[in-house]
């Protein structure tokens, strides 16, 4: 019980958690307004506006700066990791999401294709392709995993605002 109390009583974790939850709630609200549908996955899912990863790391970094000072090694480490997280969200994860969109179109396009090989041609390549497509799962890859620069900026600003709204 002592560890749980220490964990929940940690000022830094609380600020970062509130920033993350706030971003996820805003993301869900923005999705609800834009699509007119409640999408529960938005409450915990990656991607979208604002970036909850950016909100979390920026709130943590600003909180370290406010409590420990700008010359603190903890602040320096947090700043470096925040930069890496935000760069990754806009770069690698966004690219993976774009690739997932293309792969989903290809896979489901192949699955929708008429692979009827019973006509006059006995094309071995068509038969082989049909057998390969048959074994591809019907589950689409997640396309909504990265962020645009604006989504990252929105998350960063949210994290900063939440951090400075807490008393030091």
pTM of the predicted protein model: 0.72
Q: Is 154 helix (H, G, I), strand (E, B) or coil?
A: helix
Counting beta carbons within 10 angstroms of the beta carbon of residue 15, is it exposed (0 to 12), middle (13 to 18) or buried (19 or more)? buried
Q: Tell me: the pLDDT tens digits for 22-43?
A: 999 999 999 899 999 998 888 8
Higher pLDDT, 138 or 41: 41
* pLDDT tens, residue by residue, 67-102: 999 999 999 999 999 999 999 888 776 677 677 777
3-state secondary structure 90-120: HCHHHHHHHHHHHHHHHHHHHHHCCCCCCCC
Q: Which of 61-75, 95-109, 133-147, 152-166 has the lowest mean pLDDT?
A: 133-147
Helix (H) or strand (E) segment spanning residue 73 = helix 73-90
């Amino acid at each position: 019980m002592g560890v749980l109390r220490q964990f929940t009583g940690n000022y830094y974790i609380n600020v970062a958690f509130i920033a993350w939850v706030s971003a996820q709630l805003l993301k869900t609200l923005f999705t609800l307004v834009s699509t007119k549908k409640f999408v529960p996955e938005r409450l915990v899912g990656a991607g979208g506006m604002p970036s909850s990863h950016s909100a979390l790391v920026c709130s943590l970094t600003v909180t370290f700066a406010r409590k420990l000072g700008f010359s603190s090694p903890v602040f320096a480490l947090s700043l470096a990791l925040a930069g890496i997280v935000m760069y990754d969200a806009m770069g690698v994860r966004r690219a993976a999401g774009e690739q997932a969109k293309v792969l989903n179109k290809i896979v489901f396009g192949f699955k929708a294709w008429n692979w009827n090989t019973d006509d006059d041609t006995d094309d071995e390549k068509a038969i082989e392709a049909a057998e390969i497509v048959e074994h591809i799962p019907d589950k689409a890859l997640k396309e909504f995993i990265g962020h645009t620069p604006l989504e990252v900026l929105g998350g960063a600003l949210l994290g900063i605002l939440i951090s400075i709204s807490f008393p030091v």
